[in-house]
Amino acid sequence: MSTEIRPFQMEIAAADLDDLNDRLDRARWPRQLPGEGWSLGVPVAYLQELAGYWRNMYDWRRHEARLNAFPQFMTEIDGQDIHFLHVRSVEPGALPLILVHGWPNSFVEFGDLIGRLTSPRAHGGDPAEAFHVVVPSVPGFGFSAPPGGTGWTAARVARIGAKLMRRLGYERYGAQGGDFGAYVAPEMAKVAPDHVVGVYVVGGLGFPIEKDLPEMTEAERAAYTRLMEQDWMNGVDHHALLRAAPQTFTYGWHDSPVAALAWMTQKFHEFNASGRPLEQVIDRDLFLTNVSLYWFTGTFGTSAWPYYDSTGFGWPEGQTAAPTGVYSGPPGIRRLAERHNIILHWPENNPAGHHFIAMDQPDHLAADIRAFFAKVR
């Protein structure tokens, strides 16, 4: 097995850009179905305007160059080609930190967060709290090779992450994750307990389920009711959809940029808990860069494996091998989270926002990551 680490740069062919534009020009738009707002899905007028912006105003080359400014690499681990960013801090004593993205996102999620972690001095932070940042693309996402078979789990991805950190020469490091990363990061502490000093997740720990109701207080039950009413709990059940027939849906997402854009817009809209329109929460170009990455790499189907290779949905449970911190405790309940975690950091007043908080609140997230890891360095 090769242990070589190869420099990598994104270079999307001009023909692929032309093909995308041609498909957008030839889009076959449906009629608007009856119903108010988003009640039946992404409104036609909304998507037409967004697709028009993607076609005529969005500049992939500018964002490709911005992302290529981060040092990127490829290496083979367990037979998988793994793409990753490795951005070292200039600050002495910086703590290595691996950031694990989720679905339907990519390493693009952390573009505005990385500099705030590697160079806190430039963002009003304490230089003693700097990080060397490693951002792998999860297998099947972006430029990482897709899994060649079934049997993949968060633990298996965690083992790849631990081997990557070891290959980079890091013996002591932190792990951070949101969405699927909130499952992977705790597993890294389990597979490398002597190396992971702390695990930080965006949220999801201590979320109550129906069987917890009898022991919950009145206030906790009210919080549970609010949780169950959220859009992201009641929208399109992508867990069930991607378990049932991912190959079938992939044809549309892979062949039609409008279908792909509609799917991404639907999920990012549902994942928005800020109370503000999506375009006011996540920069439109940032959102389209993530969509474009999925389109150019053809990974709408290959990134679905965490769902089709699972048997059902369950909230992240966590681990006890290393201390845990979260960006937001609520709507999780701390005493429930402490059944499976050593909770060291449980803020209840961090700004709420989008599920992908790194794209919405990078300053607050970076400050909170620094606050947690200052306790375990």
Whether 92 shows a pLDDT value over 70: the answer reads: yes
What is the predicted pLDDT for the residue at 220? Answer: 82
Residue 1 scores a pLDDT above 70:
no
Q: Which of 132, 345, 355, 368 is catalytic?
A: 355
Average of per-residue pLDDT across 128-134: 98
How many C-beta atoms surround the C-beta of residue 6 within 10 A?
11
Q: Nearest Cα to 322, choosing from 181, 178, 197?
A: 197
- At residue 328, what are phi and psi to the nearest 5 degrees? -140, 120
The 10s digit of each residue's pLDDT in 176-206 is 999 999 999 999 999 999 999 999 999 999 9
Catalytic residue among 224, 307, 327, 345: 307
* Position 232 confidence tier, pLDDT thresholds 50, 70, 90: low
Mean pLDDT, residues 79-83: 96
**Residue 8: pLDDT band with limits 50, 70, 90:** very high
Residue 313: the pLDDT is: 86
Indicate if 123 belongs to the active site: no
DSSP symbols for 122-171: GGTS-GGG-EEEEEEPPTTSTTSPPPSSS---HHHHHHHHHHHHHHTT-S
3-state secondary structure (DSSP) of residue 297:
helix
The pTM assigned to this predicted structure is 0.96
If you average pLDDT over every residue of the chain, what do you get? 95
| CA dihedral sign of residues 119, 174, 306, 314 | negative
Q: Are 129 and 159 in contact (CB under 8 A)?
A: no
Tokens at residue 124, please?
Answer: 């009003």
The residues, ordered by sequence, that sit 6+ positions from 191 with a Cβ below 8 Å of its Cβ are 155, 158, 159, 162
* Res. 231: pLDDT tops 80: no
Cα separation, 303 vs 110, whole angstroms: 18
**pLDDT beyond 90 at 211:** no
Q: What is the pLDDT of residue 208?
A: 86
Cα separation, 211 vs 256, in Å, equals 42
Position with higher pLDDT, 332 vs 116 = 116
Q: Are 126 and 370 in contact (CB under 8 A)?
A: yes
Distance CA 144, CA 360 (A): 25
- Cα 316 to Cα 181, 336, 363, 374: the distances in Å are 10, 12, 25, 24
Query: How many domains is the chain built from?
Result: 1
**Catalytic pick from 58, 83, 179, 294?**
179
Range of the domain at 291: 5-373
CA 321 – CA 124 distance, rounded (Å)? 32
The radius of gyration of the chain's CA atoms, rounded to the nearest angstrom, is: 20
pLDDT digits (tens, 9 = 90+) for 234-289: 788 999 999 999 999 999 999 999 999 999 999 999 999 888 999 999 999 999 99
DSSP secondary structure, 44-58, as one string = HHHHHHHHHHHHHT-
Q: What angle do CA 332, 335, 338 make, to 5 degrees?
A: 95
Least confident of 101-105, 193-197, 331-335: 331-335
Number of C-beta neighbours around residue 226 at 10 A: 12
Q: Taking 70 as the threshold, does the pLDDT of residue 233 lie above it? A: no
Within 10 angstroms of residue 15's Cβ, the number of other Cβ atoms is: 8
pLDDT for 122 beyond 70: yes
Number of H helices, E strands in the chain: 17, 9
81 has pLDDT over 80: yes
What does DSSP say about strands 131-136 and 95-100: parallel, antiparallel, or unpaired? parallel
How much is the average pLDDT of 306-329?
93
Whether 307 is a known active-site residue: answer: yes
224 catalytic? Reply is: no
The token pair at 79 is 């037979």
Which residue(s) pair with 345 in the sheet?
A: 325
**In CATH, what number is assigned to the domain containing residue 200?**
3.40.50.1820
Distance from C-alpha of 241 to C-alpha of 286, rounded to nearest angstrom: 26
